[in-house]
Amino acid sequence: RISNVISAVEEFYQSKNLSVADYDTLVAEVNAAKTLAQDAVASQLAVPELDCDGDHPRADVENFKEKRDASIDAMKAYRDAVKKLVDAVKAAAESASEGEGVENEQ
């Protein structure tokens, strides 16, 4: 779902010919956060099944919890990076529409 939001924002940004000073930096941050989130989720999914009869069940549970927490934190960072991008594009769109309103009134 987050990828759909990013695609929609990029399409809107280009179709409206908006200008955001640090747009490329924001997109790079989104892409970096996405990669980290994907890696964290993959790492969590790579944790072997828990086996209470194994040698170290407590360590296995702790490992799973650490990977889960890292995955959650990475997804939150990804979401926050996307929010920053959306907010910047929204502000540029509002600024552009206010400029058009002033021109139309004259």
Q: What is the pTM of this model?
A: 0.81
Residue 26: per-residue pLDDT: 97
Q: Is residue 20 part of a domain?
A: yes
Question: What is the overall mean pLDDT for the chain?
Answer: 89
For helices 23-45 and 2-15, give the axis angle rounded to 10 degrees: 170
The two structure tokens encoding residue 38? 């994907």
Q: Is residue 37 part of a domain?
A: yes
Q: Is residue 106 part of a domain?
A: no
pLDDT, tens only, 25-61: 999 999 999 999 999 999 988 877 777 777 778 888 8
pLDDT, tens only, 16-34: 999 999 999 999 999 999 9
> Is the model more confident about 56 or about 12?
12
SS (H, E, C) 9-25: HHHHHHHCCCCCCCHHH
Residues of the domain holding 32: 2-91
Q: Is residue 66 part of a domain?
A: yes
Residue 64: per-residue pLDDT: 87
